[in-house]
Copies of this chain bind each other. A is one copy, B any other.
Amino acid sequence: MIMTLKEIRKKILKGDFIGLFRLFGKDEKSMQPSEVAKIFLNLPASSAIKAFQSFPEKNKILLFPYLDSLVQKQIVNEIPKEDSAKILNNVSSDDLLIFLSNLKGVELSESLEYLNEKNKKAAHNLLGYPRESVARLINTEFVTIKKEMSIDEAMAHLRRYHQDTETANIVYVVDGEGKLVDDMPIRRLVLNEPAKKVEDIMDGFYIKLNINDSKESAVDVFKQYDRAALPVTDDKNVLLGVITVDDVLDVDEAKNTKEMQRFGGLESLEYPYVKTPFFSLIRKRAGWLIILFLSEMLTATAMGHFQSELDAALVLSLFVPLIISSGGNSGSQAATLIIRAMALNELTPKRWWYVMRREIFSGLTLGLILGTLGFVRITIWQKLHWANYDPKHHGQYWYLVATTVFFSLVGIVLWGTLSGSMIPIVLKKLKIDPATSSAPFVATLVDVTGLVIYFSIAAVILKGTLL
């Protein structure tokens, strides 16, 4: 590439599509659709539509599936109807379905109008399945042979009836009723003697997905069995389509993004950050922020409850942020470990007791470490300038305050670790996404209870001296 993406972007914004056209419009050696799509991600809608319209039809069809769903919608709405119809009827069936799955209501029915009868029927059928099912990802242009054929006949059959698309990497052996008998990488036809029969080179073993399976379970199957494509059948084992690993990579990426955003304490975004409109972004963030804020108000109630202790020993207030944040941090660590281990199927809720024992010991160990550090810090500190910070000059009781901080840290880190590890397990058991127990959520929970732990320990240890 001679021009940088930035330079191309500038040209397009000026309405000069020649640079882009030269790079993408000519032959196979030029820019790839996925590279052009990257430029489109950073264009305002009007320029994107104009640039798209400047391409020859073939390239429009190549580029369309790689565009962001928001840009796809804008293009289909803005370009002439017959152009939209041509594009939608010529992209592969899985790409069409993914586009349609992102539409709702009027938008969806308008787009369905563009389709020819065959595509409309297929789309209607597949859109009837739940949004989260693999039905929304399947490619219906698959390649079938019969087990009675010789390899030579099978190859001739494929040459006559099938196009050179990625779904042809694996061929499917079906019986007279279209029921799946075996899958076979097409290489096996090449690597065996042409006179052999298909049934001679079948291994009779295949992994398949059911049309009602969820997209996320499909990700797990692909990862477990290292396949590049998997067949999808109905309950009667009739082959309905094929799912390829590239679509699954996208699902996996979206799943990870959702998990991370939830864990960061916000609702997951539908579009990339740079494409999400400002008020939609605020809405996704404000919801959880308000819930957490309202819960965190309980800390003010708790602090109010211990106001007389604070009034008697103001020095206790110094350590409030330190103590509650330690609980939040250790909770966030534990939640991360457990959420991720469950997402990778390394751990199931059934093993909660194993996790609990482990996290009790972890929490105690970590609490003892932080508690000791806290104790040392107060000891050093009081030697230096304790009196400065205690207007009532209770300096002689520093060791009692240090002891309070020590035990509070042990208790709160233990509590944070336990909450952080157990809440995701409970959520999973309740079939709620464990990542909902986000870092901020665990921190808020531990803040409120942490204050109660701190002041209760203080009440016991400081009774008769400071309190």
Contacts and interface: CB of A to CB of B under 8 A. Distances in A.
A3 interface: no
A274 B226 CA distance: 23
Contact of A253 (B163, B205, B223, B263): B223
A14 interface: no
Contacts of A290: 369-370, 373
A337 interface: yes
Interface in A208-243: 222-228
Q: What DSSP secondary structure best describes chain A's contact surface? A: helix
Number of copies: 2
Contacts of A447: 321, 325
Contacts of A289: 326, 329-330, 333, 366, 369-370
Interface in A316-365: 317-322, 324-326, 328-330, 332-333, 335-341, 344-347, 351, 354, 358, 361-362, 365
A45 interface: no
A122 interface: no
A326 B256 contact: no
A88 interface: no
10 nearest A-B residue pairs (beta carbon): A264-B336, A226-B246, A299-B321, A439-B439, A273-B341, A304-B389, A329-B440, A228-B228, A272-B346, A28-B205
A181 interface: no
A311 interface: yes
A336 B265 contact: yes
A48 to B, nearest CB: 15
B34 A340 contact: no
B186 A294 contact: no
A292 interface: yes
A190 interface: yes
Interface string A421-455: 00000000000000000111001100100010000
A434 to B, nearest CB: 12
Given A186-B187, A290-B370, A320-B321, 20 more contacts: A38-B345, A158-B191, A159-B190, A169-B187, A186-B190, A226-B249, A245-B249, A264-B335, A264-B337, A265-B439, A266-B337, A273-B347, A274-B341, A282-B362, A285-B330, A292-B325, A292-B326, A299-B325, A304-B388, A307-B314
Contacts of A163: 191
A391 B303 contact: no
A361 B324 CA distance: 30
Interface of A: 28-29, 32, 34-35, 38, 41, 155, 158-159, 162-164, 166, 168-169, 185-193, 203-205, 207, 222-228, 244-246, 249-250, 252-253, 256-257, 259-261, 263-266, 269, 272-274, 278, 281-282, 285-286, 288-290, 292-294, 296-297, 299-300, 303-304, 307-308, 310-311, 314, 317-322, 324-326, 328-330, 332-333, 335-341, 344-347, 351, 354, 358, 361-362, 365-366, 369-370, 373-374, 377, 388-391, 438-440, 443-444, 447, 451
Contacts of A444: 325, 329
A118 B447 CA distance: 61
Given A164-B188, A169-B187, A325-B443, A28 B203 contact: yes
Contacts of A245: 228, 245, 249
Contacts of A28: 203-205
A391 B164 contact: no
Contact of A252 (B252, B296, B326, B341): B252
A224 B249 CA distance: 10
Given A266-B337, A333-B285, A193 B325 contact: no
